[in-house]
């Protein structure tokens, strides 16, 4: 099959991966909420704001994502389809999942929800980033600050995530073993699933995983 004739199929696959990844990200985050054992760093903040405002976590996630996206303007970052879709889809998927999945009761069920949430979150990250439609708003903030300040990606990311976790915890967000396990596991899981879901390149049919950025930046909702 020629590269020209395969382009529609490749684009369809990328779009499917984009939206499947975003929906799965929201659903997996909801499982972590239902586990009650700790959330991803940004969702600690989202949950805390939700507790304080009475808004759903998904809606808070969307509002925060849109606000972070506005910070791209002075940083001269350019959003892609994936960036805008990130803001719109993940929060809706989270709220939809929370509406149908009850809280886990008993330690075995809570641990199962936590582990499933982390693994599926890694798969969602691989799906989304490998689609190559642009970074999430929080990743763009991180890379933009890196480019503007010259501070390393690792230090910028660490500073941002400590800030959002601390703020979210003060506001009532859940920090626990799930938060720590997520921090340790999400990098290796994302790299694994990036390889699993790599989309063949247009030039030679080989698989290309979003060159450069996935090693430096992991999707944040």
Res. 220: pLDDT tops 70: no
Residue written as token pair 């969307």 = 62
Terminal CA-to-CA distance of the chain, rounded, Å? 37
Q: Record the tokens describing residue 211, joined without a space.
A: 């060159």
Buried b (16+ CB within 10 A) or exposed e, 127-161: bbbbbbbbbbbbbbbbbbbbeeeeeebeebbeebb
Buried b (16+ CB within 10 A) or exposed e, 24-60: bbbbbbbbbbbbbbbbbbbbbbbbbbbbeeeebbbbb
Contacts with 96 (C-beta within 8 Å, 6 or more apart), sequence order: 26, 27, 58
Average pLDDT for 70-83: 88
Q: Record the tokens describing residue 21, joined without a space.
A: 């990844």
Q: Record the tokens describing residue 164, joined without a space.
A: 């959002």
Write out the H or E segment, with its range, that includes residue 184. helix 177-196
Kindly report the three-state secondary structure assignment for every residue of 87-113. Answer: HHHHHHHHHHHHHHCCCCCCHHHHHHH
* pTM of the predicted structure, to 2 decimals: 0.86
Q: What is the pLDDT of residues 34-55, one digit of tens each?
A: 999 999 999 999 999 999 999 9
Contact (Cβ atoms closer than 8 angstroms) between residue 139 and residue 220:
yes
Q: What is the pLDDT of residues 79-138, one digit of tens each?
A: 899 999 999 999 999 999 999 999 999 999 999 999 999 999 999 999 988 999 988 898
């Amino acid at each position: 099959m020629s590269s020209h004739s395969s382009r529609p199929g490749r684009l369809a696959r990328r779009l499917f991966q984009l939206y499947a990844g975003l929906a799965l990200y929201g659903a997996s985050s909801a499982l972590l909420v239902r586990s009650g054992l700790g959330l991803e760093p940004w969702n600690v903040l989202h949950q805390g704001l939700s507790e304080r405002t009475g808004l759903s976590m998904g809606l808070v996630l969307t509002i925060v994502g849109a606000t972070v996206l506005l910070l791209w303007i002075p940083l001269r970052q350019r959003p892609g389809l994936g960036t805008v879709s990130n803001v719109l889809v993940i929060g809706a998927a989270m709220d939809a999942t929370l509406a149908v999945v009850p809280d886990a009761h008993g330690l075995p069920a809570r641990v199962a929800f936590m582990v499933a949430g982390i693994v599926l979150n890694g798969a969602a990250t691989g799906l989304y980033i490998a689609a190559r439609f642009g970074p999430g708003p929080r990743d763009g903030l991180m890379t933009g600050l890196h480019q503007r300040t010259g501070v390393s990606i690792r230090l910028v990311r660490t500073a941002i995530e400590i800030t959002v976790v601390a703020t979210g915890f003060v506001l009532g967000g859940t920090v626990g073993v799930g938060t720590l396990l997520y921090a340790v596991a999400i990098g290796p899981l994302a790299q694994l699933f990036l390889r699993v879901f790599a989309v063949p390149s247009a030039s030679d049919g080989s698989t290309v995983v979003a060159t450069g950025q996935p090693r430096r930046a992991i999707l944040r909702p």
